[in-house]
Structures are given as C-alpha cells and as structure tokens.
C-alpha cells in the first residue's frame, strides 16, 4: 500500500473528542489501508509517535430523506483509532479543549 493519502478525514464526534483527551485520535481511512500503513502516515503527517492502531469497518446506516421519504444508504467506511505517545497532540482535535 502506498503511504500517500491514506487518511481521508478526522472523525469529529463527542466520543472522539473525549478520546482525544486520552491521546486517542479517530480518522476515516481507505478500506484497503492496513495498520502499519496507517501508523506510518499518521507519524509522517502529524509528527507524532504512534503506540497503537485499532481499525474497524463501520457499516453504513439507512436513513430517509426527501418529500417521499426515500431510503438512502450511507456508504461503508473504515475507521482507525490511533493512540499516540503521552504529551503529544494532533492540532486537528484541539478545537474543544478550552470549552467546558
């Protein structure tokens, strides 16, 4: 796997922001990406030391939209939870640190 553009975007939810306080950061990644490629990409892109990488496939949920309430299925995606060394930060997740 080429270690270029593996990370699609960060996943910003209440749970992921709480995990950021414990040095765990969540990203949406390509389905073909493996743990070692994700680790190398995060270390290279954010200049941090990765301790552990957990991955899982998130099933797309169904929701209804429009006047006729047609059913739309969201796509399946792969999520990676990356644990980094204590004392290091990723700036993308620093948004809610000052709020209570």
**Can you give the pLDDT of all 100 residues of the chain as single tens digits?**
554 689 999 999 999 999 999 999 999 999 999 999 999 999 999 999 999 999 999 999 999 999 999 999 999 999 999 999 999 999 888 765 555 4
- 2: in domain: no
User: For position 70, which CATH number holds?
Assistant: 3.30.70.330
> 50: which strand partners?
84
- 20: in domain: yes
- 99: in domain: no
pTM equals 0.81
- Measure the CA–CA gap between 25 and 11, rounded to whole angstroms: 8
When divided into structural domains, the chain yields a total of: 1
- 100: in domain: no
What residues contact 35, with CB distance under 8 A and at least 6 apart?
53, 55, 80
Output phi, psi for 5, to 5 deg: 60, 45
Q: Which domain holds residue 64?
A: 7-87
- 98: in domain: no
Q: In 10 A of CB 81, how many CB atoms?
A: 17
């Amino acid at each position: 796997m080429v270690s270029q553009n593996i990370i699609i975007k960060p996943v910003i939810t209440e749970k992921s922001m709480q995990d950021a306080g414990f040095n765990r950061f969540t990203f949406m990644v390509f389905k073909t990406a493996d743990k070692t490629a994700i680790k190398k990409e995060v270390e290279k892109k954010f200049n941090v030391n990765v301790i552990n990488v957990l991955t899982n496939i998130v099933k797309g949920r169904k929701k209804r939209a429009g006047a006729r309430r047609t059913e739309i299925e969201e796509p399946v995606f792969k999520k990676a939870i990356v644990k980094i060394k204590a004392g290091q930060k990723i700036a993308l997740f620093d948004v809610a640190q000052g709020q209570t």
